[in-house]
Amino acid sequence: NAGVTQTPKFQVLKTGQSMTLQCAQDMNHEYMSWYRQDPGMGLRLIHYSVGAGITDQGEVPNGYNVSRSTTEDFPLRLLSAAPSQTSVYFCASSGIGGAGEQYFGPGTRLTVT
C-alpha cells in the first residue's frame, strides 16, 4: 500500500490564481480530511468527507472547495489564492467511519505571493 499520497509536494502561486491539491489513498478508507498548518501552529481542519458524495466543513473552510466523487480521491481546490493561504496542507484518511487511526500524507507546502 502507498498509504496517503499528496501532490504536489511544493507549489508557489500568485495572488488570485486557483489550483487543486490532490490527495489519494489506497486503503479503501471511508473518511478523508484536509488540514492546514501555519508556522508554529497546530493543524486546523478545513473540510472532511465521510464517504463518496458526502463532504462537510471543518474549522476553516473559507476559500476552499472539496468534492468526493470516488472513495480513493479527495481533492482540495483553492478558488482564488491569497497570501493568508500560505501554509502546509495535510490530507488524512481513516476507516471505520473515521473512528480509527488517521493516516496522514506527507503534506503540500504552498506559498502564495
Q: Dihedral through CA 18, CA 87, CA 49, CA 73, nearest 10?
A: 60
Residue 49: all three cell numbers together: 468527507
Q: Is 8 in the site for another protein (CB under 8 A)?
A: no
Q: Which stretch binds another protein (CB under 8 A): 8-16, 45-53, 66-74, 78-86?
A: 45-53
Nearer to another protein, 63 or 95 (CB): 95
- For residue 83, the minimal CB distance to another protein (Å) is 20
Q: Dihedral through CA 31, CA 8, CA 40, CA 29, nearest 10?
A: 10
Residues 67-96 that bind another protein (CB under 8 A): 88, 90, 92, 94
> How far apart are the C-alpha atoms of 52 and 55, rounded to whole Å?
8
- For residue 19, the minimal CB distance to another protein (Å) is 20
